[in-house]
Amino acid sequence: MALKTLTSTPVLFLLLLGFSAASTPRPRPRPCKRMVLYFHDILYNGHNSHNATSAIVGSPAWGDRVTLAGQNHFGNVVVFDDPITVDNNLHSPAVGRAQGFYLYDKKEIFTAWVGFSFVFNSTQHKGSINFAGADPLMNKTREISVIGGTGDFFMTRGVATLMTDAFEGEVYFRLRVDINLYECW
C-alpha cells in the first residue's frame, strides 16, 4: 500500500503557507478542463424502433415498457445509447455516445437518478468519462458527479451541470452538459 498523501497535505500547508481559517464560503477552484456537450434521447414508444435511442426496461407494477408510468414515471428505468454533439443539433455529427441508464425516482414530481458514460472515439477525444448522481430534472440546472475516466480522461473527477435544452412530449429530450473537471492526471 503506497504512502497516504492526501490527508497529510494539510499539515504541510500549515507549515509552509500558514494557517488561515475559512470563515466565508470559499470560491470554487478553477477547473483543469472544461467541455460543453449535448446529448439527444429518443425514447422507444412502440412505434419508433427505427430511430429510438433509448428504451424503458423497468417499470413499477402499475406501468409497462412502452409508455412512461403514471405518478411522474416513478420507477421507470430507461437504458440509452444517445449521440453526443458539440452543438444543439440532433443531426450534427456525433463525437461520441452517452451510454447508461436513468431512472425516475419520485412520485410527486419528475426527478431522476443517472449512471452513464460519455464514450468518445473521435480525432479530438479518445476514452470515456463516467457520471453518476441525482438529476432533479425540473430544475433549470442540476449537478452530478464525474466519478472517473479513462483514456484522455484517465482518473479524472469533477462536476457536470445538466440543463434540459429541449424536450418534445415524452419522446425526445436534449441535455446540455457543462463538464468541469477538477482532477486531471
85 vs 128, beta carbon nearer its own copies: 128
Greatest alpha-carbon span in the chain: 66
Closest by CA to 161, choosing from 68, 43, 38, is: 38
All cell numbers assigned to 95 = 463525437
CB of 87 to its own copies, least distance (A): 23
Q: Sign of the CA dihedral 117, 43, 108, 75?
A: negative
Among 35, 94, 99, 178, binds its own copies (CB under 8 A): 99
Residues 56-85 that bind its own copies (CB under 8 A): 56-61, 64-66, 74-77, 79-81
User: By CB under 8 A, which span of 35-43, 55-63, 83-91, 165-173 interacts with its own copies?
Assistant: 55-63
Closest by CA to 28, choosing from 161, 147, 180, is: 180
CB of 90 to its own copies, least distance (A): 17
Residues 139-168 that bind its own copies (CB under 8 A): 143-152, 154-155, 157-159
Look at residue 174 and give its three-state secondary structure. strand
Is residue 94 exposed (0-12), middle (13-18) or buried (19+ Cβ within 10 Å)? middle
Residues 34-53 that bind its own copies (CB under 8 A): 44, 46
d(CA 174, CA 133): 18
Q: In sequence order, what are the residues at sequence separation of 6 or more whose Cβ sits closer than 8 angstroms to the Cβ of residue 166?
A: 88, 172, 173, 174
User: By CB under 8 A, which span of 6-14, 34-42, 83-91, 168-176 interacts with its own copies?
Assistant: 6-14
Among 136, 163, 164, 178, binds its own copies (CB under 8 A): 136
105 lies in the site for its own copies, by CB under 8 A: yes
6 lies in the site for its own copies, by CB under 8 A: yes
